[in-house]
Structure 1
Amino acid sequence: MIIVPGIVSPAILWTHIAEHLSDSWDIWILDVRGRGLSEQGETLDYGLDVCAEDLAAFIAATRLNVPIVIGHSMGARIAARLAARSSVVGKVIMLDPPASAPGRRPYPIASSRTLAMVKAARLGEGEAYLRQPGIARWPEPLLRQRAEWLATCDPRAIDAAYHDFHSQDIYDDVSRITCPVTLVVAGASGVINAEEVEQFLRSQPRLRIIEAPGAAHQIQAENADLCLRILRRALQEGV
């Protein structure tokens, strides 16, 4: 199983989820390029296609045989892009992916908010920023870890991801996936609305939908127990 995190979530912020699932699965968590311990730089391409190619290269290098890929937010779009264009993935679980696409409503989490969070962390003010009113409070150990590792996220990678959220068509990718695919909708996040759920289903009639009422977008941190229950259910379905 491979976990591909979201836009400003280095791999280390998913270790608590992986540890619980490791009773049944061998798990890898990727630092998407420009985050965590991965490469970053002025000349590096941070687009969706190359991130999907990185995932494919990892699968090939580790000789994994059609692994399950769990993608959260941006990571779900990376997983969907690879599964749409390759048969190397055995199953995709998309956790609350941005449903934005050309001609559709924008991603509701503003890029300015995400960039401000990273800027604060790079100035050594990440923990204070994350404790502000209006910022969803993570459990204390994760909050401190998040404040530390946000500083590793390249703002250029964030800009590229936001550009692709609106210029790349996730519905076309989902329509081309031939392996089992599950969409998890976090009910309290506002990232996927009812109309967009219907569009996903029109794109892929075999799509499995799991609703997570009351769940935040950062379900792995703010609703970790619920996240684990949903992932276990998704992993059991369609096997």
Structure 2
Amino acid sequence: MPASSSIAFIGLHYWAGSGRAFNAVAHLLAPDYPFRAPDLPGFGGAAPSEVSSYTVDAYADAVAAFIIGQKLKRYVLVGHSMGGKIALDLAARQPAGLAGVALLSPSPPTPEPMTDEDRTSSVKAYGKPAEAEKTFRTITARPLPKAMHQQIVQDNLRSSRPAWEAWLLHGSRENLSARMCDVQVPCLILAGDQDAIMSPSVHGLETLPLLPEGTPLEIISGAGHLLPYEAPEEVAALLRRFAERLETA
């Protein structure tokens, strides 16, 4: 596609991550498609006070304000994990300029499948380097460079406690399913077949039936939960094809 493409991508990162998770994908899509990935409130370098609460709606409000500030006329939301639920919340509002939604290993619009034991242990893991390393090993399947490994762990440890706990105890449990009929733009789901957090079957059962008819579920072989880190080439290629279809629709 030419550099004058009218579509930009907005990346919404995973819980305990940051916008820099999309750096490799953004590089692969440049210069054809601008890619902007803000740090969501409470994570990365964002100030914890940027929202009054850490509900999914509050996050969607923050993303909507970011998009207005960027003066984007046409864009695709790229929601990864927690960011996927936020993307669907915003898409259901049918905001001006929204062309499509791409979901990477998304938290479903229904309550996220997680046992009470896992929630409790995750709450207790806050701010502990050893637990951040354990999480890294759980959510990745492909080997990653040392610098990338360190970045993922660092992002985990610089999360704010209110945002950390709010997602585990409340946000991930929110049920948006009744609003998914208002998502009227083309959608795409990408999942890793080695994802130990959200298996492809979760997307097929909990998310896909609530999206527009014909939404594809693309499986990336050998990848875990952190698709933007583990499979940037595959993710970028699928996003490019998705945008090209939107451009010609």
Give the TM-score, by structure 1 length: 0.82
Contact 2:28 2:233 in 1 (8 A): no
Q: Where do 5+ consecutive residues of structure 2 fail to align?
A: 1-8
Task: Report deviation, 1:106.
Answer: 3.0
| CA RMSD after TM alignment | 3.1
Relative to 1, partners in 2 of residues 1:34 and 1:195: Cα closer, same or farther, differing over 3 Å?
closer
Q: Where do 5+ consecutive residues of structure 1 fail to align?
A: none
Aligned positions of 1:46-195 closer than 5 A:
46-88=54-96, 89-99=98-108, 101-102=110-111, 105-106=113-114, 110-111=118-119, 114-115=122-123, 118-121=126-129, 129=133, 136=140, 138-162=144-168, 163-169=170-176, 171-190=177-196, 191-194=198-201
Give distance in 1, aligned partners of 2:206 and 2:225: 20
Relative to 1, partners in 2 of residues 1:218 and 1:43: Cα closer, same or farther, differing over 3 Å?
closer
Contact 2:15 2:82 in 1 (8 A): yes
Counterpart AA for 1:147: V
Contact 2:94 2:182 in 1 (8 A): no
Task: Report deviation, 1:35.
Answer: 0.7
Contact 2:14 2:80 in 1 (8 A): yes
1:208 to 199, 216, 219: 216
Give distance in 2, aligned partners of 1:212 and 1:13: 18
State the SS of the aligned residue for 1:110: helix
Identity %: 19
The 4+ residue runs of structure 1 with deviation greater than 4 A are: 112-118, 130-135
Contact 1:187 1:213 in 2 (8 A): yes
Relative to 1, partners in 2 of residues 1:15 and 1:81: Cα closer, same or farther, differing over 3 Å?
same
Q: Which moved more, 1:107-116 or 1:34-43?
A: 107-116
Relative to 1, partners in 2 of residues 1:57 and 1:116: Cα closer, same or farther, differing over 3 Å?
same
